[in-house]
Structure 1
Amino acid sequence: MRSVRGERGAATVLVVALAGVLLLVGCALGVAATLVVDHRRAQAAADLAALAGAARLAEGGDACRVAGEVAAANGATLLGCRVEDRDVVAEVRVTGPRWLGQTGDLVARARAGPGR
């Protein structure tokens, strides 16, 4: 087989271009996976904060103070806490990934109280 002189090195350019596309797709998938993990972490922190607050409320204590402590212990910031009837509603924020221009934080809300 003879190679055509004008096509020399064409495969190298194609391989480099495809490697760049694969790298970009890999980074995008990494950001998406990190967003999912951080959202689950935010939801878990909100759930635990609301449950701890509801348990303290049932004992007659300060539900929102305990919710804030539990949120902080789980790497989240308590944005809001309120007692509605006998339920505690907690809203927390977790710092999101800072890759590829992502700057948003993840927020989750949970409600806990006695069974009805």
Structure 2
Amino acid sequence: MPRRDARGAVTLLVVALAGLLLLLGSALGVVAALVVAHRTAQAAADLAAIAGATALQRGRDPCATAADVAAGNGASLTACAVIDRDVLVDVSVTGPRWLGQDADLHGRARAGPARAGPASVGRQ
């Protein structure tokens, strides 16, 4: 015959563990969303820099092209500079707004023509 004072203890334990699993799942969801947003920002920056460098070589406005490409990839261009024949861009992506997270994520990239130098470094 079961003891009356232990009745419901398993239910309480299951509810507590379910709450803990929900909290852990939420935290992992935030981390995953931060990683995805950071990767999106970096990919948008890389593509915007390449597009800007290509536009510069073709005599077009590199920063306008970079802004269009960044916007097309879910980011906004926050800075653009042309140094010599290189295009440097900074982009921003809205980060997740869960569990108190409110920071935007940023990506930075540089693109331009290949540098002169040994083309076969490390090759034989």
TM superposition score normalised by structure 2:
0.90
Question: 1:14-93, aligned counterparts within 5 Å?
Answer: 14-93=13-92
Tell me the alpha carbon deviations over residues 59-115 of structure 1, each in whole angstroms, 9 at most, x when there is no partner. Answer: 122111110111111111100000111110000000011111111110110000000
Local SS of the residue matching 1:70 = helix
Q: Which runs of 4+ in 1 moved over 4 A?
A: none
CA distance in 2, matches of 1:46, 1:75: 10
CA distance in 2, matches of 1:86, 1:57: 8
Unmatched 5+ residue regions in structure 1? none
- Aligned residue number for residue 107 of structure 2: 108
User: Hey, which of these two has a bigger chunk of helix by percent?
Assistant: 1
Aligned AA (2:24): V
Local SS of the residue matching 1:92 = strand
CA distance in 2, matches of 1:47, 1:110: 5
CA distance in 2, matches of 1:22, 1:80: 41
Tell me the alpha carbon deviations over residues 21-79 of structure 1, each in whole angstroms, 9 at most, x when there is no partner. Answer: 00000011111111111111110100010000000111122111110111111111100
TM superposition score normalised by structure 1:
0.96
CA distance in 2, matches of 1:64, 1:74: 15
- Aligned residue number for residue 95 of structure 2: 96
CA distance in 2, matches of 1:12, 1:74: 48
CA distance in 2, matches of 1:65, 1:5: 75
Unmatched 5+ residue regions in structure 2? 116-124
The structural deviation recorded for 1:3 is: 1.6
